[in-house]
Amino acid sequence: MMNNSDAIRFETRIPVREVMQSHPTTIDVGETVARAAQIMCRDGVGSCIVLQNNLPTGIVTEEDINCKVVAKDSKPSSISVNEIMSTPLITIGADKLVGDAAAMMVKHRVRRLPVVGDQLVIGIVTVRDILTVAAEVNELLADLIEINREEEYALGVCDRCGNMSDDLSRVDNLMLCPVCREEEQLL
């Protein structure tokens, strides 16, 4: 029988490449904050990975724009993304596991991890991506547990009639003999 720690281990053994979003939004280090905002709006995302000579060097998020530009009443078109980007960029390899990504996010207090292969950005994984996978896996595990319950046969006393039986099975958290199971189905 699977316990909670088995479920967590199961869902975190998935490679990051299976949950990452391919082709993340990027911007050149010399571009403006206004351009970054336009690109994020176009792509419907909350961040841009900043590239210098096609290599990832930082990340600009909605929070960076709000706190470092808008809150200071600065003009986005006059500020370069390299002035507000978060560095150093924390990245993860595509073959690392979802559990590794989650641990890195917690350790570094970030919600997004660019995924790199051969020093190039090939994707991005977010907290939402990990939570979605966790929810899907947990739903599958719940279904498996329910299937397992349906096929459970045991020797013992029927919870409804009190008779001994070598053919008890679980119905609505009660161990029932064949006669009581049949009556249950008629109700």
pLDDT digits (tens, 9 = 90+) for 50-101: 999 989 999 999 999 999 999 999 999 999 999 999 999 999 999 899 989 9
Angle (deg, nearest 10), helices 4-12 and 127-150: 130
Tens-place pLDDT, residues 99-119: 899 999 999 999 999 999 888
User: Residue 58: beta bridge partners?
Assistant: 50
Cα–Cα nearest to 125, from 91, 88, 84: 91
pLDDT of residue 83: 96
Cα–Cα nearest to 113, from 40, 47, 184, 63: 47
With H, G, I as helix, E, B as strand and everything else as coil, classify residue 3: coil
pLDDT of residue 6: 47
Cα–Cα nearest to 45, from 68, 20, 24, 18: 24
Integer CA distances (angstroms), 181 to 24, 149, 160, 176, 184, in order = 55, 14, 9, 6, 5
Rounded Cα gap, residues 139 and 9, in angstroms: 15
With H, G, I as helix, E, B as strand and everything else as coil, classify residue 87: coil
CB count in 10 Å sphere of residue 147 = 9
Tens-place pLDDT, residues 6-17: 444 444 578 999
Angle (deg, nearest 10), helices 98-108 and 4-12: 100
pTM above 0.85, yes or no: no
User: Residue 48: beta bridge partners?
Assistant: 60
Question: Is residue 143 classed exposed, middle or buried when 0-12, 13-18 and 19+ CB atoms within 10 A define those classes?
Answer: exposed
